[in-house]
Structure 1
Amino acid sequence: MDNAEPRKKKTDAATLRRERAAQKLRENLTRRKQQSRARRKGAADESDGLPASRQKDEG
């Protein structure tokens, strides 16, 4: 009956891991929805890219 105790701990660890993963997925979905809403309003995210990769407005 001592074997049941480690199995329970392993199951609890797996459950906690799944719960953390689910929470991270929810946070990611919320963040993506907020980004999508901001883009629809015209407030697109700023690109941090390299200055050389940005095109200058020639005209």
Structure 2
Amino acid sequence: MSRQTEADEQKRARLAAALRENLKRRKAQARARRATEVEATDETPPAQAEPPRS
């Protein structure tokens, strides 16, 4: 394996790891947002709750 190829493989591995971490963070943010929306909906009386969006 040449030096350039090793560097390319290392770069590819770093980028793959960064993408996985980014995806985990975005999923956690989405779960937190959903949980907040559910709590807000639970606190609102049914007559004042917004209709579900599709």
TM range (shorter): 0.7 to 0.9
1:18 matched residue in structure 2: 19
- 4+ residue segments displaced more than 6 Å: none
Q: CA deviation at 1:21?
A: 0.5
1:31 matched residue in structure 2: 32
Q: Indicate the structure (1 or 2) with the bigger Cα radius of gyration.
A: 1
User: CA–CA distance in 2 between the matches of 1:37 and 1:7?
Assistant: 45
TM-score normalised per structure 2: 0.73
1 or 2, which has the higher helix percentage?
2
Report the 3-state secondary structure (helix = DSSP H, G, I; strand = E; otherwise coil) of the residue aligned with 1:3: helix
Between the two proteins, the alignment pairs up a number of residues equal to 43
Unaligned runs of 5+ in 2: 45-54
Greater RCO structure (CA 8 Å; 6+ sep): 2
Q: CA deviation at 1:2?
A: 2.3
**Percent of pairs with identical residues:** 7
